[in-house]
Amino acid sequence: MIEGKQRVLWIDVLKGLAILTVVLSHAPWLHRMGPKGVSVIASFAIPSFCLVSGYFFNPNASFRDHIRRRFNSLLRPYIFISVVVIIAYVIFRGAPSVWWYLFWTIYGNGPNLPKQMFHLFYLTNLFIVTLFVWALFRYFKLLKSSNSLQLLFIMGFLVLGALGIQLFWNVKVPISVTNYFMTDGNLTLINGLLKNPSYSQESLLVDKQFTLYGLPWSLDFVLVTSAFFMSGYFVKQNKLDHLFNKGTIAFIMLLVVIVCHSFYNYTINLNVRVYDHLIISTTESFAAIYILIYLSFYLGKMDNKMTQFIKYVGRYSLIVYIFHPHAQSNVYRTLLSSLSESISFIAIPLSFIAGVSLPLLLNWLLLERFKSFRFWFYAK
């Protein structure tokens, strides 16, 4: 087992590698190339973040402490970004009204958020996951000491979560239900939808049938994210770090990922409630996470500029996560429109670099330097 400082270093590297995969999963050029690359990255990007978060989970901390810490680290940035996006959308993009933007950001579910906040579903969901898992350890005290019970919960959550992930996805809401709360309720909800890839407002207006895409704060897949979260805690509690430092196992896991994605087009994409296959998708995800952790151990032993940069990215992974989609997509579109076709390929690496470096630059220039920004992004 790796102790002390080195453990912290490999976690920083893992966070850096995990956020780099998330940036890659949102790359516009990757989406243009086809679904295969996106499905490979998506199958483990968010699950790996859940696992890292679970690694730092402390079931002995008080409920108030968890509320305070998660509110400061997750919801404060979410609130700040929500306010900025709402003001910008209302001023520069018009309807719907500010109240609809406020309603959907409070709803906090990815498919209902403004396009520039589409990915921030993870912040609200992780807040719920932390409190949910804390409650489990609080009311099932044996969880703290029983490895078998922890594994039972993890497997049970994965099974139930994967099988039920679409229960509240693409649900046609009867007009009688919404009319009970408001006059002409379905039409009111449809007109209040934000521009978002999940909805086609025009098609909904045909039969005035509002379609529900997920529960508030993504509660409909909280069992899945809780399973990966608890897996991280399980690794730390049982001091299993040393098992991820095996090159032979990492090679086998790489073969597993290649074979699974070669023969099956299965993935995990929580924001659109996709968990294609309980066994294969879960295997792909945990195998890929093993490879990430192995690389983290390997790189964590080095002391070169590349590793230092990955650790730096890992330390500010939340900042990169929040701001990377806008930076990456805009740089990519700008480069494509300004470069000749013969050299347009350089837009791919440059936009990816921008997706990582521009949020870090914003953090260095503003977020860390000014007290007002530190309050929203660095409150303890």
Q: Where are the domains of the chain?
A: 4-168+214-314
pLDDT in tens, 216-263: 999 999 999 999 999 999 988 888 877 888 889 999 999 999 999 988
25 vs 32, higher pLDDT: 25
pLDDT over threshold 70, residue 197? no
Average of per-residue pLDDT across 359-368? 93
Average pLDDT of every residue of the chain = 85
> Which residues, including other chains, have CB under 8 Å from residue 127's CB and lie 6 or more apart?
70, 71, 74, 75, 217
Q: What is the dihedral of CA 69, 102, 31, 122, to 10 degrees?
A: 20
Question: What is the reported pLDDT for 127?
Answer: 95
Q: For residues 377 and 79, is the Cβ–Cβ distance under 8 A? A: no
How far apart are alpha carbons 90 and 284 in whole angstroms? 42
Greatest mean pLDDT among 80-89, 122-131, 257-266:
122-131
Please tell me what DSSP assigns to residue 193.
Answer: P
What are the tokens at 78?
């979410």
Residue whose C-alpha is closest to residue 289's, from 357, 355, 227 = 227
How far apart are alpha carbons 112 and 117 in whole angstroms? 9
Average of per-residue pLDDT across 43-57? 91
Question: What is the reported pLDDT for 291?
Answer: 94
Q: 131 falls in which pLDDT band (50, 70, 90)? A: very high
Average of per-residue pLDDT across 310-325? 92
β-strand pairing of 268-269 with 274-275: antiparallel
Question: What is the reported pLDDT for 203?
Answer: 62
pLDDT over threshold 60, residue 2? no
Q: 199 falls in which pLDDT band (50, 70, 90)? A: low
Q: For residues 295 and 17, is the Cβ–Cβ distance under 8 A? A: yes
pLDDT in tens, 165-192: 999 988 888 777 777 667 777 777 776 7
Average of per-residue pLDDT across 351-361? 93
Question: What is the reported pLDDT for 196?
Answer: 64
pLDDT over threshold 70, residue 4? no
Percent of residues, the chain, with pLDDT higher than 70: 90
Question: What is the reported pLDDT for 307?
Answer: 87
Question: What is the reported pLDDT for 5?
Answer: 44
CA dihedral over 269, 20, 230, 288, signed as positive or negative: positive
What are the tokens at 149?
């019970």
pLDDT over threshold 70, residue 96? no
Question: What is the reported pLDDT for 174?
Answer: 77
Average of per-residue pLDDT across 82-100? 77
Average of per-residue pLDDT across 74-91? 88
What are the tokens at 20?
């780099």
Average of per-residue pLDDT across 328-332? 90
Average of per-residue pLDDT across 280-299? 92
β-strand pairing of 211-213 with 274-275: unpaired
Question: What is the reported pLDDT for 234?
Answer: 92
Average of per-residue pLDDT across 53-75? 92
Question: What is the reported pLDDT for 277?
Answer: 93
pLDDT over threshold 80, residue 348? yes
